[in-house]
């Protein structure tokens, strides 16, 4: 069927509500990145429309996922995205494909999409564990990167950055400048249950 009948409208509504719940109820709630969440919704709408309209020309599920792979290579190779965002992109695509060409009832589609959203919500919640943020820090006290001085390194980073540092990984050491590039993992502080998380992977030069 390639006609815009009542079945198309119902599936389109189910699709957009499911994707919006996944992107804004799960992804945006933690990441606070409205532009990426909106892009995911638009991507899901586009995949749904294309796959539904092409379903009348014997389009299989394998071809649908192949179409998603083509979109990925054309658009998302220009900018690196995290594993988490790539996973949400895959879930958005899965919901769009299941809703557009899945051979199941509307109730089954809603139930399946709801299960996907609930799983994503639980995994991204604090029920699984603490959510750590990371920052890349240029550190100049090179003597503290020694294994025996690890406690001093973490204490110094806590004092100078004000972050609740829990783990430090050495990415690169520059002996010419006596500096080291550190990947710092920390727990974001919460104040009045409304303090937003600091964006990850920002490079900061720690002053002497």
CATH architecture of 133-205: 2-Layer Sandwich (3.30)
* Model pLDDT, residue 115: 92
Please tell me the predicted confidence (pLDDT) of residue 85: 82
- Residues 9, 23: Cα–Cα separation, whole Å: 21
Is the model's pLDDT at 70 over the cut of 50? Answer: yes
- What is the share, in percent, of the chain residues with pLDDT greater than 70? 72
Query: 133-139 and 203-205: which strand pairing?
Result: parallel
Query: Taking residues 67-91, what's their average pLDDT?
Result: 67
What does the alpha-carbon distance between residue 174 and residue 158 come to, in Å, rounded to a whole number?
22
pLDDT band at 102 (very low <50, low <70, confident <90, very high): confident
120-126: which pairs have CB atoms within 8 A and are 24 or more residues apart?
120/22, 120/26, 120/27, 120/88, 120/91, 121/25, 121/26, 124/26, 124/27, 124/29, 124/30
| pLDDT the model gives residue 121 | 86
**Token output for 51:** 């796959």
Which residue, chain included where needed, has tokens 């783990």? 167
Q: What is residue 198's predicted lDDT score, i.e. its pLDDT? A: 38
CA 84, 20, 125: angle at the middle one, nearest 5?
Answer: 45
Mean pLDDT of the chain: 77
Burial class (CB in 10 A: 0-12, 13-18, 19+), 40: buried
Give, as one character, the DSSP assignment of residue 24.
Answer: I
pLDDT band at 200 (very low <50, low <70, confident <90, very high): very low
CA 159/CA 138 separation, integer angstroms: 15
Q: What is the mean pLDDT of residues 96-114?
A: 87
Tens of pLDDT along 5-49? Answer: 788 888 889 999 999 999 988 888 877 788 888 888 998 898 888
pLDDT at 187 over 80: no
Put the strands of the sheet holding 164-174 in their side by side order.
164-174, 179-187, 133-139, 203-205
pTM: 0.59
C-beta of residue 60 within 8 angstroms of C-beta of residue 47: no
Q: What's the whole-number mean pLDDT along residues 57-71?
A: 58
User: Per-domain residue ranges for the chain?
Assistant: 6-123, 133-205
């Amino acid at each position: 069927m390639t006609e815009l009948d009542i079945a198309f409208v119902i599936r389109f509504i189910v699709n957009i509500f499911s994707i919006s719940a996944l992107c804004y109820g799960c992804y945006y709630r933690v990441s606070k990145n409205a532009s990426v969440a909106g892009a995911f919704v638009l991507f899901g709408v586009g995949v749904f429309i294309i796959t539904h309209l092409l379903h009348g020309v014997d389009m299989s599920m394998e071809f649908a996922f192949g179409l998603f792979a083509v979109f990925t290579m054309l658009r998302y190779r220009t900018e690196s995205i995290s594993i988490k965002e790539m996973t949400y992109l895959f879930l958005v695509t899965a919901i769009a494909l299941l809703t557009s060409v899945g051979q199941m009832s509307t109730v089954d589609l809603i139930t399946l999409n709801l299960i996907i959203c609930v799983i994503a919500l639980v995994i991204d919640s604090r029920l699984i564990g603490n959510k750590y943020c990371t920052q890349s820090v240029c550190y100049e006290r090179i003597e503290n990167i020694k294994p025996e001085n690890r406690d001093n390194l973490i204490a110094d980073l806590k004092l100078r950055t004000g972050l609740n540092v829990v783990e430090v990984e050495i990415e690169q050491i520059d002996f010419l400048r006596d500096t080291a590039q550190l990947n710092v993992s920390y727990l974001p502080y919460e104040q009045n249950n409304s303090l937003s998380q600091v964006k990850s992977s920002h490079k900061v030069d720690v002053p002497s």
